[in-house]
Amino acid sequence: MIKILLYKNSREKIGERINTMLQDHFPKLDIIVSDSIQEISSTLCRPLHEISVIILPIASTFELAAFQNLNPIFEKSRVILILPDRDVETLAKAIRIKSSFITYFDNDIKDIASVLEKLMKKSKKREK
């Protein structure tokens, strides 16, 4: 079963919207909601964290830089980035984070559900 770590960005409502969407579409998923970069780091540094997917709605380039510093501990998980703008520099910085999917705040969050469905299918195939 997939375990999700969601960064619930306190300045943006998108984290709440994503959490609601996840609970509606995937009621059986184990979702850990985190309010801080430090809490995410702490969770991922635990030896047996078993986080399959990390969803990061990023509100600023400052946050993006902070998450780039965590890139080494993202290696065992799939990362979904939600960027605040379509600026070339923002995207260039985001690409440095090894992510499975990049989208933007103004896109439909249902895209995230589609990506998760695909990841769940791949996960089930590996378990067999």
Q: Which residue ranges make up each domain of the chain?
A: 3-127
pLDDT given at position 111: 92
Residue 35 has pLDDT above 80, yes or no: yes
Contacts of 72 (CB under 8 A, 6+ apart): none
Least confident of 81-95, 99-113, 114-128: 114-128
**pTM of the full structure:** 0.91
pLDDT given at position 24: 94
CATH 3.40.50.2300 fits 3-127, yes or no: yes
Dist CA 94 CA 61 (whole Å): 9
